[in-house]
Amino acid sequence: MSTDAQVLAKPTSSLCCLNGSIHEGQPKGEILSIEGVDSYIAKPGDGKDSGNIIIYSPDVNGFYNNAFLIMDVMAELSECLVLGIDYFKGFDPWKWQQDHTDNPSQDAVSIEITPKWMKTVHSKYGRKGQAKFACFGYCWGAPFVCDQLSERGICVARAFAHHANLNDANFSDLTKPLLMSLAQKDAVFKRDQRNEVVKIMEDCDKTFHVQLFSKISHGFAVQIGSLLISVRRWVKEKSLQAIGQRLSYYLAESIESSVS
């Protein structure tokens, strides 16, 4: 990363997805080890498997019930196998909020293990090149999603919601389509930054789509606030639905990033 890179989405903080609640529901997938890291696998319904793969990069909360339920729903929406990585290796941010005596430096851990994990997933689930890959992520997971749409990545399309930790190069270097699902009231990614990102992608002739929810804050796609409030539930569901539809479209059609 260039030392003079323009920061366009702030790092995670107390403003981020650590506020909220755990969703109720029983995950349908399974956890197994890939590259020595716990990984969640969600499968589509019987007879609905497209043969393609979607990778999920979790928010700053890592592996927890909300993430599992999101992957389960994505598997049904996309008719794809969905895999997620516990790139915090068992660290529990919810517990850490109560006891800050530990400083786990989870950014270093996730940055180290994710590329190896992706390489193994590509080899193990790629069906000798027949399967196509897409990816999506929330908050903390956005940089890993961006990496997969650069020349280094394996994914044909990607999406993220209320992203963090990104700079201008993450957008100017894109080679594949992008969907951004955004909150109007996001202290991590404010209006000026949002407008600058759109300008960068327009100037660089990127293929992208922006979904913007008014009067909504950072964290809406995972767990911010109570889902008993109907508008929050609607926004969360519509965001995931849009991501699933967009990724499915590019996976099914094998459309190159230069085609809108």
pLDDT tens, 140-154?
Answer: 777 777 777 566 788
Per DSSP, helices labelled H in the chain are 65-78, 93-96, 106-125, 142-148, 168-172, 191-203, 230-253
Q: Cα separation of 205 and 220, whole Å? A: 29
* Predicted local distance difference test score (pLDDT) of residue 243: 95
Counting Cα atoms < 13 Å in the Cβ hemisphere of 247 gives 35
Taken in order 203, 251, 124, 107, is the CA torsion positive or negative? Answer: positive
Quickly count: other Cβ atoms within 10 Å of residue 191's Cβ: 12
pTM: 0.82
Q: Cα separation of 130 and 52, whole Å? A: 8
* Predicted local distance difference test score (pLDDT) of residue 104: 52
* Predicted local distance difference test score (pLDDT) of residue 179: 94
Express each pLDDT in 232-244 by its tens digit: 888 999 999 999 9
The one catalytic residue in 17, 139, 146, 155 is 139
The yes-or-no answer on residue 218 being catalytic is: yes
* Predicted local distance difference test score (pLDDT) of residue 223: 64
Q: What are the 10-residue block averages of pLDDT along the chain, 260 residues in total?
A: 49 46 76 94 91 90 86 95 88 56 53 84 92 90 71 85 83 90 90 94 96 89 65 89 95 57
* Predicted local distance difference test score (pLDDT) of residue 11: 47
Quickly count: other Cβ atoms within 10 Å of residue 163's Cβ: 28
CA distances from 249 to 45, 79, 156, 243 (A): 19, 11, 10, 10
Q: What are phi and psi of 43, to 5 degrees?
A: -110, 145
The yes-or-no answer on residue 122 being catalytic is: no
* Predicted local distance difference test score (pLDDT) of residue 120: 94
Quickly count: other Cβ atoms within 10 Å of residue 247's Cβ: 27
Terminal C-alpha separation, the chain: 28
The yes-or-no answer on residue 99 being catalytic is: no
The single-letter code of the amino acid at 190 is K
Estimate the share of the chain in helix, then strand, then coil, as percent rounded to the nearest 5. 35, 20, 45
* Predicted local distance difference test score (pLDDT) of residue 18: 44
* Predicted local distance difference test score (pLDDT) of residue 56: 92
| CATH superfamily, region 7-253 | Alpha/Beta hydrolase fold, catalytic domain (3.40.50.1820)
Q: Cα separation of 247 and 58, whole Å? A: 17
